[in-house]
Amino acid sequence: MANKIESMTRDIIASKALVDLMTIFLGERIIPNFKKEKLNLYRKVVAQYQVNEISNCHKTAGFWATMLENETIRAAK
């Protein structure tokens, strides 16, 4: 029985050391790379959104310019 308890105690200590090692590894290597990749993806998405918004503004301005060239609309002023 004492051998089982001693064996389990060693397993618990080894497991705690492994958890500490994994926590350090995740905190120093994995999480920073993950955050960097997600931030780069977010930047690309925001940049594409800006391009789409500028394009929509140009289309809207073109539409209203075309409307103002219409004689019927111009006469309604």
Asked whether residue 77 carries a pLDDT value surpassing 70, the answer given is no
- Quick one: average pLDDT of 19-46? 97
Q: Is the dihedral of CA 10, 11, 17, 20 positive or negative?
A: negative
Q: Please give the torsion angle defined by the CA atoms of residues 32, 36, 39 and 45, in that order, rounded to the nearest 10 degrees.
A: -150
Q: What is the pLDDT of residue 33?
A: 96
Q: What is the pLDDT of residue 74?
A: 79
Q: What DSSP state is assigned to residue 37?
A: H
Q: Give the pLDDT confidence of 14-24 residue by residue, as tens digits.
A: 999 999 999 99
Cα–Cα distance, 11 to 54 (Å, whole number): 61
Enclosing domain of residue 6: 2-75
Cα–Cα distance, 64 to 74 (Å, whole number): 12
Domain count for the chain, please give it.
1
Q: What DSSP state is assigned to residue 76?
A: T
